[in-house]
Structure 1
Amino acid sequence: MNIARTRSFPGADIGSDHDLLMMTFRLRLKKTSKPKHTRLKFDLEKLKDPNVLETFQAMIGGRFAPLTIMSNDDTDIDSMITTFNTAVTETASEILGKHRQKKKPWITAEILDLCDKRRELRKKRFEPEGAAKYKEVNNNIKRCMKKAKENWIGEQCSEIEENLKKNNSKRAYELVKDLTTVKQGKVTTVQDRSGKCLTEERQILNRWTEYCSELYNHKANGDPSVLNCTQTDTEDDHPILRREVEA
């Protein structure tokens, strides 16, 4: 509320024992917080490395070994499920690590580590020594980003050439489209004739129906005289070109 622009009018004749008050205030709506996802996501891209895959299989196999020697009397479904989940989660956390979202496809794990380091130095960027380290890490991130993007574009171009050599034009054009097309968000609202935004699905469908009806409902102003064909002469000046049909 803007107190400086608040004013009362005690002399107003409004038939009440209250005074008229005029003020300027701003209403702020409370932001609803979305529930956080409790599901753990691991970096499964590391499993493409044969060495990491072999290490993961060996470690998780060693943790599953005690489950295979358990007798039927000692077997409890709930305890086995808990042991299984614990073994998988601990092994994945130790070998793979948590999955970190990449907003760009050319971002590497090295760049993400530098971003984490820059985030820690952000608190010390106002200090002389901290500002120098923060600037150094920030410039290093920019250089790595530029180099990684160039390498990724080069790999995409090589893949396009390889697909064209194999006559796989569909995949090649898909890669070209991904490189050249600017992705845009989906528009879920339209405007009516007066410029009012429509959000309801039924109103949007009705507006599209109205727009298409006005767009394609036009009258053709043609010349009907072109349909009047003149009678041709039956006598042919070139009888050799006339096709004769024998009865």
Structure 2
Amino acid sequence: MRKSADPRLDRVTLALLPPEAVPPMDSFLIDALAAAQKRTRGDLHVAMASIALYATREALPQIRAIYESQPEPCQPELMAYFLRVDPDFADRVFRSHPWDMHAQPPACTVQYFERTAPLNMHPALEKYMIAYLMHSDVAVKRAAAISLGRYGASAAQAALWDTLRYFHEYWKDRRAELYSYKDSLSFEADLRNALARAKNWRVDEAGLRLIESLCISERCLAETQMDLREAKSRP
């Protein structure tokens, strides 16, 4: 792809271009990002996502300088680039604040779960997500569970199982009360789905039976029983 005088990228282009099909075009990508940051044209998130997918390691000094020069602390798409070419730097960013499960997390945390992981899941990010499965804010741990189910490696199962068991122990004697906490009901459903319908692993019938035994809500039971019927119908 040749450099354009009017660098712009769009979501359709990103969807059609696998990274291995794209020749080096760092100058084009950096120009597109600069234009988007000036708000003259283009979508900033698309420009950062294109860097995450296509920029080479040789562009790291420039891209890191751009990242560090911005007043906006959350640049989750650029974090996906760093995870690909400089994971130690990305890990330092994740560890630049205490992982306090009872304090309000940084504004960037959930953005890393929802916008970095689809572009590049990495063990450093996965470890960060796993820690937040036990956060006191249900919305935060829901986001972690959903992203682990969609993008996590098989090794993430252990933490998801531990979290489901903890949820069961916490609510098992207060089943009726759970229905007054809609966010916790949703968390159980998302946690169940992260295990039972994950992208990168399959839970067998025995695993589904275990999930069934740990369900508190009727929704969790019904969805697990549906998965069990589907599992039995597989050849």
Name the TM-score, length of structure 1 as normaliser.
0.21
| Structure label with greater radius of gyration | 1
Higher relative contact order (CA 8 A, sep 6+): 2
- As a proportion of its length, which structure holds more helix? 2
- As a proportion of its length, which structure holds more strand? 1
